[in-house]
Amino acid sequence: MTAGVLDPLIHVPARLRIVATLAALPEGDALSFTRLQKMIGLTPGNLITHLRKLEHAGYLSTEKNGSGVASHTSVALSNHGRAALDTYTAALRDLLAGL
């Protein structure tokens, strides 16, 4: 078994940290972009790029409230994203057990 079996969308340090951080919240809860950025330590541009990839795959949803400088974006892991992380974790465990 190789690293090829691991979901390539999650198997990236930044996206792995994003998904793992959001998974620590109870199902249905969301996190503000600002706090997520503080916790992950990425630049806003980098974080947005990673979030877009995950959102296009249906792993998370984003919601924007307000407009202009007062706007707030929140990010939540979808059920699909939570299941993908579970699958990724199981695959990683199998892979490490086989080494």
DSSP string covering 80-91: HHHHHHHHHHHH
- Least distance (Å) from another protein to the CB of residue 57? 14
Sign of the CA dihedral 70, 32, 19, 28?
negative
Residue 74 touches another protein, criterion: CB under 8 A = yes
Among 39, 57, 82, 87, binds another protein (CB under 8 A): 39
Please choose, from the candidates 43, 42, 34, the residue with its C-alpha nearest in 3D space to the C-alpha of residue 17: 42
Kindly determine how many residues on this chain lie close enough to bind another protein according to the rule CB under 8 A.
51
Residue 34 touches another protein, criterion: CB under 8 A = yes
Is residue 22 within 8 A of residue 81, CB to CB? The reply is yes
How crowded is the C-beta side of 25, counted as CA atoms within 13 Å? 20
Residue 97 touches another protein, criterion: CB under 8 A = no
The residues binding another protein (CB under 8 A) are: 3, 6, 8, 11-17, 20-21, 23-26, 28-36, 39, 43-46, 48-52, 55, 62, 64, 68-69, 71-74, 76, 89, 92-93, 95-96, 99
